[in-house]
Amino acid sequence: MSLIVQKFGGTSVGSVERIKAVADIVIETRKQGHQVVAVLSAMAGETDRLVELAGQAAKEPDSRQLDVLLATGEQVTIALLSMVLQEKKYQAVSYTGGQVHILTDNVHNKARIVDIEAMRVKKDLAARKVVVIAGFQGIDEQGNITTLGRGGTDTTAVAMAVALNADECRIYTDVDGVFTADPRIVSEAKRMDRISYEEMLEMASSGSKVLQTRAVEFANKYKVPLRVLSSFKEGPGTLITEEDESMEQALISGIAHNRDEAKLTLISVPDKPGIAAAILSPIANADINVDMIVQNVGVDNTTDFTFTVHRNDFNKALALLKKTARDLGAKEVTGDDRIVKISVVGVGMRSHAGIATKMFVALADEGINIQMISTSEIKISVVIAEKYLELGVRTLHSTFGLEGENDVVDDAAG
Amino acid sequence: MSLIVQKFGGTSVGSVERIKAVADIVIETRKQGHQVVAVLSAMAGETDRLVELAGQAAKEPDSRQLDVLLATGEQVTIALLSMVLQEKKYQAVSYTGGQVHILTDNVHNKARIVDIEAMRVKKDLAARKVVVIAGFQGIDEQGNITTLGRGGTDTTAVAMAVALNADECRIYTDVDGVFTADPRIVSEAKRMDRISYEEMLEMASSGSKVLQTRAVEFANKYKVPLRVLSSFKEGPGTLITEEDESMEQALISGIAHNRDEAKLTLISVPDKPGIAAAILSPIANADINVDMIVQNVGVDNTTDFTFTVHRNDFNKALALLKKTARDLGAKEVTGDDRIVKISVVGVGMRSHAGIATKMFVALADEGINIQMISTSEIKISVVIAEKYLELGVRTLHSTFGLEGENDVVDDAAG
């Protein structure tokens, strides 16, 4: 008997019909002899509806009140799933974040989980109940309702798995697992059976939207096995776990891409200590996240400084940068929001030289110009013109032999 | 400075626009120098929507889960009202039933309030905050979410007023107050400035739907002044309070009617001890409430036994009664769901003889046959054919001079 935490996102619980399908998955897992904790999101579209109501109520809705409002979304789905389970003669008990004491800090709208009181859940599981928990929400020490921000339900699921010392945390989504590349771009893309936390983190930060970075980091920290799988069709999904020898054999695990970024460059800025901070501080103060940063070696005491931000922040960042350029005496500011980032990810590259060269040559052979390069221990990212996205991803997918190496093993989920 | 609890029902918070109007009422009360606790229902229609979702999820939704689901309705409105208040620069804090520890028993869907921890609210009020509380809901000792059933928000408001020792509990509705008769039937009906708890209880149980009986009983028990008024238009409403001398002067306060009842009769049932219990036990066991009961004096060792139930329960009660008739050897069962109950209510009748006679004569003069009579210390009810409803109410309203005696005093709310 294992203890399995199962997380179902908004599309998986988007209607009562879908919730009944989720109940079938839960029951199937129970029939296999496992204990089940289900963690749910709000119905797809519900959070948007509530945010719109808040927008009608106030121009800038108070963040504490917004959490009170948004937390109703998951409360609806946990009640409905529990009703369905009870009707099917499975004892179920639902808990809001507050009821099961998911203690967070008091940063409304993007709170962090501090502690979970698991006793009550353990007792319910011992009494053969399915425990159904509202994701995305918690309470602070004063008992105020908090929410965890984007992807918060994944985080709740992983945190619950950690608190309960669960054997596996299964994240049900609308895709079959993690693929070697986006199947909509590369028809030969294969579902991976396994991937390491580190690789998943790099895939996620490179635009593979299957899982939120925060949940993967959390799982990695506590070494909770994560499995990504589909709530719409059966299959073993992809297990995200610690590196092992079998993984080492794969040089490159996958090709990720991100078309949500835009590039900004400050040309010929006087090259002196503190210049990077002077450029990026106004950006950070405006709550704009910076992804890649490249500073070229200076010529004539000036340097070019390039970085990427989310496309939604492009215009705001450009305006800020123009002001900074004047302050610092830079020659020019340029920007481009028609770029993409493509990354090759794999723990194997640690022990193999020449991956970067192989990547750059493959792209050059297709006439694709590389605008920026950034590397980590297990990832190489390049920024190229958006029009080359599909060609670039397909080229790299075949260059690193991903269509052949990863055979799908369909009984991996056991 | 007074402490005022203000309750707003579903139509009063039926849209964000309506919630903004509620905020204006709250702010106006604050500007008069009072502390305000607002107790809210769910948006009109929201509870029905949730009940329908539950009906899709399960044929007989689990009662605990239903409470988890339904409790989201008020959580939405308290968040929205607080947002509006904050935007208008009034500090506001919202609480669910659980957060403010409205402790109830564990009878889901119709829980009773056991205790309220008022400390947190008192602190907020002292800090000049408007406290916005979700009506209709609480938690049991195990922290399970409970709901109070029909009219629960009125009960929450009164209980909160008791716990806080409030100066007045104002129930905002879509009518201007309590009237001497239904204004849709009697155009001369007057809004009453004051009415005693006892009279209000009799009015409510006789079909005047302005307030739930339970909330009035609660207010009476703890002597909290209740005021019924409109959230749609300004006015002093009707104050429900203890009897005083000024009330004694009014012989009859109002004419109430109830068209939700049906009448059942067991004819020629052998008259022996325990007969009433034998007849009514199966009805009670089927959770059917009985209102009026009349048993005629027996002739030839048999008696006729008549009682009224809610029209929705008529067919069920009739079927049960037919079985009972066979068991007891009664001659016949008859039923009529085309009846109404009309009541004259007033504390003044305690000290005045002849009210009943005056009532019966007035009805007889109009050719209205009385089918059943039931009396209490401050009420006389008769059952008549439904077709005489309007004629009966208007006749009694003028017979007891109600159109003239109660002058509307518009500054009574102060």
What is the side-by-side order of every strand in the sheet holding A261-270? Answer: A290-295, A302-310, A261-270, A332-336
Nearest CB to B16; choose among A53, A72, A75: A53
- Structure ipTM: 0.79
- What phi and psi values does residue A390 have, to the nearest 5 degrees? -60, -45
Q: What is the mean pLDDT of residues A232-258?
A: 83
Q: Do A99 and B59 count as a contact with CB atoms less than 8 A apart? A: no
Residues of chain A positioned with their CB less than 8 A from the CB of B93 = 64
From B41's Cα to the closest Cα of chain A, the distance in A is 14
Chain A neighbors of B53, CB-CB under 8 A:
16, 76, 80
Of A61, A78, A99, the CB nearest to B143: A99
Dist CA B260 CA B395 (whole Å): 21
Q: How far is B19 from chain A (nearest CA, A)?
A: 8
> With b meaning 16 or more CB within 10 Å and e meaning fewer, what string describes A186-214?
beebbbbbbbbbbbbbbbbbbbbebbbeb
Cβ neighbours of B83 in A, within 8 Å:
54, 57-58, 61-62, 65-66, 69
Sign of CA dihedral B64, B66, B67, B69: positive
Strand order in the sheet with A254-258: A254-258, A339-345, A379-385, A372-376
Residue A245, pLDDT score: 63
- How many other CB atoms sit within 10 Å of the CB of residue B197? 21
The pair of structure tokens assigned to A248 is 């080492």
Q: Report pLDDT digits (tens) over A282-294.
A: 998 888 888 888 8
The answer to whether A44 and A10 have CB atoms below 8 angstroms apart is yes
- B303 Rama sector, left if φ>0, alpha if ψ -120 to 50, beta otherwise: beta
Q: Which residues of A touch B50 (CB under 8 A)?
A: 76
Residue of higher predicted confidence among B273 and A324: A324
DSSP character at residue B311: G
Q: What is the DSSP secondary-structure string of A296-326?
A: PPPBTTEEEEEEEEEGGGHHHHHHHHHHHHH
Whether residue A80 and residue B57 make contact (CB cut-off 8 A), yes or no, is yes
Distance between CA A111 and CA A155 in Å, rounded? 11
Contact residues, B window 71-130, toward A, CB-based 8 Å cutoff? 71-72, 75-76, 78-84, 86-87, 92-94, 96, 98-99
Token digits for A118? 């698991």
**Sequence-separated (6 or more) residues with CB below 8 Å from residue B300:** none
Nearest Cα residue to B63 out of B140, B3, B164: B140
Output the CA–CA distances (angstroms, integers) from residue A257 to A12, A340, A344, A398, in the order listed. 25, 7, 9, 15
Q: What is the mean pLDDT of chain A?
A: 90
Determine the distance in angstroms separating the CA of A215 from the nearest CA of chain B, rounded to an integer.
27
Cα separation, A186 vs A189, whole angstroms: 5
Q: Is the pLDDT of residue B77 over 80?
A: yes
Could you say which of A79, A98, A144 has the minimum Cβ distance to residue B98? A98
Q: Angle CA(A34)–CA(A35)–CA(A36) in degrees, nearest 5?
A: 110
Q: A157 to each of A5, A237, A306, A383, A399, how far by Cα in Å?
A: 7, 17, 37, 34, 37
- What dihedral do alpha carbons B10, B12, B16, B18 form, nearest 10°? 160
Angle subtended at Cα A212 by Cα A206 and Cα A213, rounded to the nearest 5 degrees: 60
Q: Provide φ and ψ at B66, rounded to 5°.
A: -60, -40
How far is B40 from B53, CA to CA, in rounded Å? 22
Q: Are A280 and A369 in contact (CB under 8 A)?
A: no
Strands A168-173 and A226-230, sheet pairing = parallel
Of B224, B86, B65, B59, give the one whose Cα is nearest residue B145: B65
| Min Cα separation B17/chain A (Å) | 8
pLDDT at residue A246 is higher than 70:
no
Residue type, B348: G
Nearest-5° Cα angle at B231, B103 to B127 = 50
Q: How many CB pairs under 8 A join A and B?
A: 120
**How much of chain B is helix, strand and coil, in % rounded to 5?**
40, 25, 35
Asked if the C-beta of B58 comes within 8 angstroms of chain A's C-beta atoms, the answer is: yes
- Please give the Cα distance from B99 to B137 (Å, whole number): 11
For A87-108, write each residue's pLDDT tens digit.
999 999 999 999 999 999 999 9
Extended beta strands in A31-186, E state: 35-40, 92-95, 102-104, 113-116, 130-134, 137-139, 145-147, 168-173
Rounded distance between C-alpha atoms, residue A399 and residue A181, angstroms: 13
Q: Per the CB < 8 Å rule, is A16 touching B83? A: no
Residue B142 CA: distances (Å) to CA of A72, A100, A102, A157, B104: 21, 11, 16, 23, 10
Task: Say whether pLDDT at A409 is over 50.
Answer: no
Which one-letter DSSP state was computed for residue B126?
Answer: H
Query: pLDDT tens digits, residue range B92-115?
Result: 999 999 999 999 999 999 899 999
Two tokens, residue A162: 């950690």
Per-residue pLDDT band at A407 (split at 50, 70, 90): very low
| The total number of residues written for chain B in this structure | 414
Whether A56 and B16 lie within 8 Å, measured CB to CB: yes
pLDDT at B405: 47
Q: How far apart are CA B91 and CA B72, in angstroms?
A: 23
How confident is the model over B247-274, as a mean pLDDT?
A: 85
Going by DSSP bridges, is the β-strand pair B168-173/B3-8 parallel, antiparallel, or unpaired? parallel
Q: How confident is the model at residue A151 (pLDDT cuts 50, 70, 90)?
A: confident
Q: Are B136 and B152 in contact (CB under 8 A)?
A: yes
Residue pLDDT, tens place only, B317-373: 999 999 999 999 888 999 999 999 999 998 888 777 788 889 999 999 999 999 999
pLDDT at A79 over 50: yes
User: How many residues make up chain A in this entry?
Assistant: 414
Instruction: Compute the distance between CA of residue B78 and CA of residue B88 in angstroms, rounded to an integer.
Output: 15
Chain A partners within 8 Å of B80 (Cβ): 53-54, 57, 65, 69
Q: Are strands B332-336 and B261-270 parallel, antiparallel or unpaired?
A: antiparallel
Per-chain mean pLDDT for chain B: 90
pLDDT at B225: 95
d(CA A250, CA B81): 57
- Report the distance separating Cα A291 and Cα A304, nearest Å: 17
Residues of A in contact with B54 (CB under 8 A): 79-80, 83
Coil, helix or strand at residue B139: strand
DSSP H helices in A178-259: 197-205, 213-222, 245-248
Average pLDDT over residues B291-320: 88
Q: Which residue has the higher pLDDT, B399 or A174?
A: B399
Whether the predicted pLDDT of B45 surpasses 50: yes
User: Residue A37 in contact with residue A164, Cβ under 8 Å?
Assistant: yes
How remote is the C-alpha of A350 from its chain's centroid? Answer: 23
Tell me the whole-structure pTM to 2 decimals. Answer: 0.82
CB contact under 8 A, B58 and A94: no
Q: What is the mean pLDDT of residues A72-76?
A: 97
SS3 (DSSP) at B241: strand
Average pLDDT over residues B59-86: 96
Q: Which of A3, A8, A7 is nearest to A166 (CA)?
A: A3
For B15, residues 6+ apart whose C-beta sits below 8 A from its C-beta are: B43
Residues 6+ apart with CB under 8 A from A53: A69, B16, B76, B80
Beta strands B302-310 and B261-270, pairing class: antiparallel
Which domains can be identified in chain B, with CATH numbers?
Answer: 3-174 (3.40.1160.10)
Task: Look at strands A3-8 and A168-173 and give their pairing.
Answer: parallel
B22, B65, B139: best to mutate for the A interface, most A CBs within 10 A: B65
Q: Which of A59, A143, A144 sits opposite B87 (nearest CB)?
A: A59
Q: Which residue has the tokens 């967070």?
A: A104
Q: What is the pLDDT of residues B134-158, one digit of tens each?
A: 999 999 999 999 999 888 999 999 9
pLDDT at A46: 95
Residue A143 in contact with partner chain B when CB distance is under 8 A: yes
